[in-house]
Amino acid sequence: MGTVLDDAASAEFHAFFERHYAELSRLAHLLTGESDAADDLAADALLALWHRWDRVRAADQPVAYARGVVANLARTRIRSTVRERRRIALFWSQREEQTENPDIAGIVDVQDALRRLPFRKRACVVLRHAFDLSEKDTALALGITVGTVKSQTSKGMAELQRLLGSAGVPRKVHVAMARGGENAGRNR
């Protein structure tokens, strides 16, 4: 039988879950590029938050803390996937197919280019350009300094520009991530 505090904490967590689950799933999708895993990563992150809910709810920025948990779980998943694919020699096969729809091709190109970035650069670019987070909020979510966010975002965008060969990369990244990740979290 729960106490009043347990019931209040449960209700508070439920409200947090309802407010932020879709956003966390979208973040997981954009960081990993795997729509199938996005819901699972968001759910795993929220489960971890529930186990530490007393600390999370007392935090100044519980959403930033949640984003950090998702980013760490995504990083772990990516590392695991890379190791697995290396073992079975199926590491990120290159697809030659191009679609006729330029919007779809643009999304695919940006997502492929994002996958080529190291995790920290990718996370900074995604949080800054897809989620329109400030440098400070991005730093909080990733547990790094604002200066690191600035340098990693700048280097990540320069690398994307090199990979995509276009001066309009920030707009392309923002549009592609908004369109490519908008259905993450709605799969179930």
- How do the pLDDT tens digits run along the chain, 188 residues long? 444 458 888 899 999 999 999 999 999 999 998 888 899 999 999 999 999 998 888 888 999 999 999 999 999 988 887 677 665 543 334 444 454 555 577 778 888 889 999 999 999 998 898 888 889 989 988 989 999 999 999 999 999 888 888 655 666 666 666 555 444 433 33
Fill in the DSSP letter of residue 93: P
Dist CA 165 CA 116 (whole Å): 14
Contact 106, 176 (CB under 8 A): yes
- Residues 172 and 129: their CA atoms lie apart, in Å, by 10
| Whole-number pLDDT of residue 80 | 83
Among candidate residues 50, 61, 37, 45, the one with its CA nearest the CA of residue 134: 61
